[in-house]
Amino acid sequence: MKVVLLGSGNVATHIGRAIHNSPHTLVQVYNRSIENGEKLAQELHCEYIQDIEDLVKKADLYIISIKDDALEGFIEQMPVVNGIVVHTAGSKPMNILRKFPSHGILYPLQTFSKQRSLDFKNIPLCLEADSESSLSSLKGIAKDLSNSIEFVDSDKRLTLHIAAVIVCNFPNFLFTMADDFLDKHNLSFEILKPLIGETVDKVKESPPGTVQTGPARRGDKKTIEKHLKFLSENEKLGKLYRFVSNMIDEYYNHPDNS
């Protein structure tokens, strides 16, 4: 299949690399900003276009992977093409693409940073399409990119996106808060890494609800109060600690209020 990539951010970069390493052919990378677009096109050995009017009309698949809040405006400007047009956003419904006769979704459930290489084969790809024939074509390329293909409608995709924020973005922010806190006390985040690794290894084997540990799980209010007292100089972290501890305590120790 001939593929055009529209965008050159984190998600676009990783999808582009996966296609480049597949039997399919990238023919163009579009990006309004010349610097990122040209760099990615060069890496992927394909044409760079800055003007959407230069879009090739005969590709089989167009993957729009730009910022969520710019997506609808961009789709409006884009010329109508016959190939399948998909976007990669977790929280945008498929029907924003309805001006294209054949359209769908290719949503990779992963967190991407340009500088990190990832084995794309392990990334769940959530697919949706306007018709059986679009879905079948989309599946044809998706199965060459990943071993994990899911068929997910727009509502379920939104659900997955919310869950992804909760299990990825939120924990990473907790790591950041802990890093800052240790730094303030001249301790290194390094010492927490075995603990963080084990926290995740545990839930690969057991449902997370069954392996919860810690003072809030035990309903150990004395330890919680001690921690909060120590955090009294650190207003934000104290508020966060109290908020989450209360939720854990209610969940396990006062489920009737939940």
Comparison of 144 and 179: residue with beta carbon closer to a second copy: 179
Separation CA 20–CA 39 (nearest Å): 15
Is 109 one of the binding residues for a second copy (CB under 8 A)? Answer: yes
Q: What are phi and psi of 234, to 5 degrees?
A: -120, 80
Binders in 112-151 for a second copy, by CB under 8 A: 112-113, 116, 118, 122-124, 148, 150
Site string (47-76) toward a second copy, x via CB under 8 A: --------------------xxx-------
Which residue number, 79 or 173, has a Cβ lying nearer to a second copy?
Answer: 173
Under the binding rule (CB under 8 A), the answer on residue 253 touching a second copy is no
User: CA-to-CA distance for 124 and 182, rounded, in angstroms?
Assistant: 35
Which window, 15-23, 32-40, 48-56, 163-171, contacts a second copy (CB under 8 A)? 163-171
Pick the closer one to a second copy by CB: 55 or 192.
192
Applying the rule CB under 8 A, the residues between 79 and 108 that interact with a second copy are 91
* CA atoms of 180 and 231, how far apart (whole Å): 13
- Rounded to 10 degrees, the C-alpha dihedral 76/11/31/59 comes to -70
Touching a second copy, residues 198-227 (CB under 8 A): 198-200, 202-209, 211-218, 220, 222-223, 226-227
CB nearer to a second copy: give 101 or 238: 238
Vertex 67: Cα angle to 62 and 72 (nearest 5): 70
- Cβ closer to a second copy: 102 or 146? 146
Of 95, 194, 233, 256, the residue at the interface with a second copy (CB under 8 A) is 194
Mark the segment that binds a second copy (CB under 8 A) among 16-24, 45-53, 133-141, 192-200: 192-200
C-alpha–C-alpha distance, residues 143 and 80, integer Å: 26
What's the half-sphere exposure (Cβ side, CA atoms, 13 Å) at 193?
Answer: 5
Contact 94, 130 (CB under 8 A): yes
Q: Per CB under 8 A, does 163 bind a second copy?
A: yes
- Least gap, CB of 106 to a second copy (angstroms): 15
**Residue with tokens 């690399």, as numbered in its chain:** 17
Candidates 23-31, 56-64, 133-141, 161-169 — which segment interacts with a second copy by CB under 8 A?
161-169
> Could you tell me the two tokens for 3?
């593929």
Among 52, 54, 57, 180, binds a second copy (CB under 8 A): 180
Instruction: Show the tokens assigned to 187.
Output: 């301790």
Strands (E), 75-216: 84-87, 103-108, 125-129, 149-151
**Closest-CA residue to 30 (of 77, 68, 72):** 77
